[in-house]
Amino acid sequence: MSEKKIKLTLNEMELKLIIDYIAAYEMLVHRSPARTSKIKKKLETALNKKPMKISSRKAKGRSLQYWVCNRIAEMLGIEFVQKDDTCLIHSREMGQSGTDIALRGEAAKMFPFDVECKNTEGVSFNAFIQQAKANEKPERSWLLVIKNSIIEKPVAVMDWETFEKIFRKGNPKIVGKAVMTLDGAEIGKCYIHEGGLVTIPEPKKYDSEAKKEAIDALVKKARKRRMGVLEP
């Protein structure tokens, strides 16, 4: 009976070599055979594990890209139809150069990020970020979306500077604070932000129902006008 020859890749050859070393170690040193046997078993399992088919890898990556497209479409109020060539949001086909999510027209203006998607068990932040940066267009920001069996929900990765700009846009810097008054009595403090926005925390509680109603009406009016009754 002829022996069946199997062509090994470099990684498989390295694993096989390690397994042979462990077997030799077990023969020479008998202090902890259980431990070496456990390591050997793990390596043999990795050696015998069948690699994922290319078609399966593409389908896995495509599923995350479609998920991102649907989320962007929902945020922008734009319908995502992959088969529609006129759609403003598209998932780029596997193997094509450029960002994984193609945005056109208003979608590109409203969502200023060039997205790179990675749905893989092996996470290499350095390589992933370099790829995302390489596909970043002028006046836009790169955005990396990662998902695998350990990271249950997709995770977004970006530059801290980009994150800070987003935060400051939604939360203008506080440049001052003042006191809200009603009939000469303090009912709470308010904060003045860059751009003239005024935010009002919950006012103090009062025993009188009439005072409470008057305070609620004042707060609603102030919030609607984005200003408070201020006392220097």
Most confident of 23-32, 131-140, 181-190: 131-140
- CA–CA distance, 66 with 130 (Å, rounded to integer): 22
Q: Which residue has the tokens 């462990």?
A: 22
- Checking if the pLDDT of 230 tops 60, the result is no
Of 201 and 6, the one with more pLDDT: 201
Nearest CA to 60 out of 97, 103, 94 is that of 94
Per the DSSP assignment, residues forming a β-bridge with 89 are 103
Residue 205: how many other CB atoms lie within 10 Å: 9
- Interacting residues of 201 by C-beta distance below 8 A, sequence separation 6+: 188, 189, 190, 191
- Provide the whole-model pTM: 0.59
**Which domains does the chain possess?**
10-48 (no CATH), 54-168 (3.40.1350), 174-231 (no CATH)
pLDDT of residue 229: 43
Which amino acid is residue 163, in one-letter code? F
- Interacting residues of 148 by C-beta distance below 8 A, sequence separation 6+: 119, 120, 121, 123
Report the chain's mean pLDDT, rounded to a whole number: 75
- Checking if the pLDDT of 33 tops 60, the result is no
| pLDDT band at residue 171 using 50, 70 and 90 as cut-offs | confident
Q: Cα angle vertex 151, ends 165, 97, to 5°?
A: 65
pLDDT of residue 213: 74
Q: Please check whether residue 200 is in contact with residue 207, taking contact to mean a CB–CB distance below 8 angstroms.
A: no
